[in-house]
Amino acid sequence: MKWFVNGRQKQTAKASSAYERCEKLEKQVLKTFNVAPIDGVLDDQIQHKIDMKTKPLGALGGLESIAFQIARIQNTLVPSVNKAKMIVFAADHGAVAKGISAFPQEVTPQMVGNFLAGGAAVSVFSQQHNVPLKVVDVGVKVDMPDHPLLSQRKVAYGSKDFSETAALTLDEVNRALEAGAAEVTDAVDEGVELLMFGEMGIGNTGVSSCMLSAISGVEAKQTTGRGTGLDSEGVSKKALIIDQALQRAASELNKPAGEWAPWEVATQVGGLEILAMAGAMLRSAELKKPYVVDGFICTVALLFAKQVQAEVVAYAIFAHQSNEQAHQVLLEAFDATPILKLDLRLGEGSGAILSYPIIQSAVTFFNNMASFEAAGVTNVS
């Protein structure tokens, strides 16, 4: 299966003029980010430092790739990820009423409360690794009480049912992108060197599948999985609802999925927490900070971010391959080798925080492991 991630698919001649009008409108209305390519001026020195450690060439495998990427992003031979932060974005989705999730919508605020109380997986793992956690309400259906770990950035009380109407307005899309960007700006102002992102929103696996189909043109039956535990009948129902959303939007836009501009994908079938993650990724890259991509939902957020600004991918570290059926193919389309494969399907950023000690180890060997010359060891490579 060949999925599209390297720029927009070529539109048909029939849709060409309409597409060009959309392009012009998009430039006027969708929030923009200025992500610079990584210049690579230190690439040779970084690789030389890795190769001269007291080990055979390439013997530390993926750790060497992680170390190279972080040193390259930070443009230094002494990289650091000692100060990290986990940011979890939360929102609800109107299509849950149609049955795209095994769980009811009231679980979203309940789980947000669990995050804040320290009882969720991402909470305990963040505590284990001494990483501060921030939960960001961008679209939970109810008002959450103030809490030191909660950032109140509500854009709307959830999205609309995308099988019946556009999920979001353009203003809501931009405010979600801005919410994610603002959280990253605040974190970097605090001195954070590595960002990790997660999400909470009942139904957001289905919304992510719909966004993936909208961007790639791949049929819903290939992008839809079990999410939080749907049986085969439930998966088929979810795919049918996603198909209805795609057909409705295609009729409204007068062009098929796979040919929509980013703002059209976002308004027609987007989710607020997914878009906030995309904004956070774009802002991280804009500020030249590495960030960790969690599972399927987070990877779809990156796919959307790539449609906005292609250079954003170079700053991404892929944490794990989830148990969602479309995630492996999506990772392959990114040519990404994730750090972990534990059959996780929890979300929350749980895979991202679990990958953190491995990322730390990559930087530690790069900075502290002796070279052949310093250790007086003969280099036979």
pLDDT of residue 6: 47
- The sign one gets for the Cα dihedral 233, 239, 243, 244 is positive
Separation between Cα atoms, residue 369 and residue 381, nearest integer Å: 17
Give the 3-state secondary structure of residue 310: helix
pLDDT of residue 238: 86
Residues 200-253: pLDDT tens digits? Answer: 999 999 999 999 999 999 998 899 877 666 777 767 888 999 999 999 999 999
pLDDT of residue 5: 52
From the candidates 172, 183, 199, 348, which is the catalytic residue? 348
Domains of the chain by residue range? 83-356
pLDDT of residue 55: 96
53 contacts 371 by C-beta, under 8 angstroms: yes
pTM of the model: 0.92
pLDDT of residue 102: 80
For 83-356, CATH number?
A: 3.40.50.10210
Separation between Cα atoms, residue 320 and residue 340, nearest integer Å: 4
DSSP class per residue in 180-228: HHHHHHHHHHTT--EEEEEEE-TTHHHHHHHHHHHHH---HHHH---TT
Among this protein's residues, is 348 annotated catalytic? Answer: yes
pLDDT of residue 20: 55
pLDDT of residue 133: 98
Strand 291-293 to strand 194-200: parallel, antiparallel, or no bridges (unpaired)? parallel
Separation between Cα atoms, residue 337 and residue 181, nearest integer Å: 26
Residue 241 CA to its chain's centroid (Å): 23
pLDDT averages per 10-residue partition of the chain, 381 residues: 48 46 59 96 98 97 98 98 98 92 92 98 98 98 98 98 97 98 98 98 95 95 76 80 96 97 98 98 98 97 98 98 90 95 92 98 98 86 59
Which residues, other chains included, contact 128 with Cβ-Cβ below 8 Å and sequence gap of 6+? none
